[in-house]
Chain A
Amino acid sequence: MAKAEGLTWTVDDADHMTQAEIYGEVLTQLALKNEKIVAMTADLATSTKIGKFQAKIPERFFDFGIAEANMVAVASGIAETGLIPVISTFAVFASLRAAEFVRTDLCYQKRNVKIIGTHSGTSFGQAGTTHHCTEDLAVMRSFANMVVIAPADARETAKAVEAVLGWDGPCYIRIGRGFEPPLHKDLDFDFEIGKAIELRDGHDVTVIACGVTVLHAMEAAARAAANGVSVRVLDMHTIKPIDEAAVLKAVADTRRIITAEDHSVVGGLGSAVADVIARSGKGCAFRKLGYQDEFSIVGYPEDLLHHYKIDADGILEAIAEVVRAEFEQDENWEDED
């Protein structure tokens, strides 16, 4: 088995699924204190790590087999009784296969159901394009009443799980698969749904990232600083409701914005940020990093992030580009006298 090192991980590290493991652990601990919490999966208890819940509290665990839509429908009904169902399956199945049920049975009814979509983006690497999920943020974000969260690492995932259980309404958390390197050194940080975390202040460019790309944005910012470019990094863990104030402040302060996500550039974080900027009427140089309206190829996750320029190298390249970008049509370099 390959050993993950530094900023990389491999799909072979099935025993190092820290992000998923943490959420499984936290969910179980919370469920031991709150009897309303029930867990559900669709034949993926082990892979999604919700199996931890099954081992500790089997009477509140339900495996529906390969029947995601059915699982969502049942969750909706159970939620009506006052219980809090937490569904866990691969992101691609939760957001695409079961989409109509999520929309109509959960969001339309505003049911208090939580969905944990694992193996999102291209984190499933060699499992291939069919198991990659680069559309879930777009789909889930488009459903009214839905909260959409993409935590940056395991510790943030733990806080996100706790936060959604305190939120009345449907929520979707997307996480990766493997040994995503830790961003936060400990749990000593504030996490609030809809409130971005400013990890690093900067004056020249702002990188707004979510999920696994946040750590890469931090690495890129550190490397850019060595070249004299000051980069702000926002961990935009909540895609919906997005932190409009943080986006607008970034536009006002730096006027150059890059979004980075392990997701299609259509409909995800970049689109959410673009919506905010467009509504504000403020001009800025803007780049969306992600999958550029294409299906992802097959490979190791770290190679795919590099290929699609959403790792530290790619973000650094975008920083260099956006710093030079022209965006004001009325540029006038005559001194006032």
Chain B
Amino acid sequence: MADHTQELRARIFLRSALPLVKVVAEERPRYRKLLFKANGVVQFTASDSEQAAWIELGDGTIDVKQGLHPNPSITVKFKTLRDLNTFFAGGTALPSLKRLAGIPSLLRVVPFLLKLKVLMPNAVPTDPAGKALKVKMLLYMVSNALSQLNKGGDETMVKLVKNSPDRIFQWTVEGGGPAAYLRMRGGQTKAGRGTYTRRRPYVHMIFPDIEGAFDVLTQKVGTVDAVRYNKLRMEGAMEGGKEVGLLMQRVEALTTGA
């Protein structure tokens, strides 16, 4: 069995990052074209863990599901979960391939997987569209990853969530930009897209525009300077902002393997 840290990392890669291939398809017509007349299932798995996920291609659509598909077109199997994590973190880890007839499906998926590298800290797009995509994907991934920390048993997160009242941590890019939230209460968490409307957020991190969000999320500027230079506005409980900031760093450490 893989150790707890590797299980947690895999959970974030498979449940928080991998599903973002759908965002890539939505935002980039060039990638959508790759899905034309594509049908098949690409399974990802590791020998030492029950964690697994598959990508399903369905003639113009792409979807991600957790677990083992009963009849995948191709299976990308790693010896260890550590190798799977290395692969998704952008490192070198060679898997074995089963059912080679599914290679055309895998080839359609590879560009999407490469595009996920935009999530990594060393990927720094300079064009506005690239920045906008990175911001959107980061917000979606971070909110989801924080929920995975709880569901995956991260000690700090579980302790925080266990006795938490109903609290919303909201991230919003103003001017029609992306938004995401994390809801927690009494041991449970939920990551969501958009704005949670049923109550005021406990902590609301508001970015005035994509540029500001990009600078903060890529740590080009620190939180204090971001507030000072109007790249970030914090509403709600300041102490909650600190908590979530530390947890976001925890997510980054897990995804980069730092």
Contacts and interface: CB of A to CB of B under 8 A. Distances in A.
A337 B148 CA distance: 12
B166 interface: yes
Interface residues of A, number: 20
Interface string A216-255: 0000000000001110000000000000000000001111
A333 B200 CA distance: 19
Interface in A283-336: 323-324, 328, 332-336
A256 interface: yes
B200 A335 contact: no
Interface in B167-194: 167, 186, 188-193
A interface, over-half SS: loop
Contacts of B166: 204, 255-256, 323
Contacts of B193: 336
Interface of A: 203-205, 228-230, 252-256, 323-324, 328, 332-337
Contacts of B190: 332-336
Contacts of A323: 165-166
B147 A203 contact: no
B144 A337 contact: yes
B199 A255 contact: yes
A56 to B, nearest CB: 50
Contact of B199 (A228, A229, A254): A254
A328 B148 CA distance: 23
A203 B191 contact: no
B interface bracket (residues with beta carbon within 8 Å of A): 20 to 34
Nearest to B23: A337
B111 interface: no
Contact of A333 (B22, B64, B148, B189): B189
Interface in B95-144: 144
30 contacts: A203-B167, A203-B236, A203-B240, A204-B166, A204-B202, A205-B165, A228-B163, A229-B165, A230-B202, A252-B200, A253-B199, A253-B200, A255-B166, A256-B166, A323-B166, A324-B186, A328-B198, A332-B190, A333-B188, A333-B189, A335-B15, A335-B144, A335-B148, A335-B189, A335-B191, A336-B190, A336-B192, A336-B193, A337-B22, A337-B144
Contacts of B64: 337
A332 B240 CA distance: 23
A203 B200 contact: yes
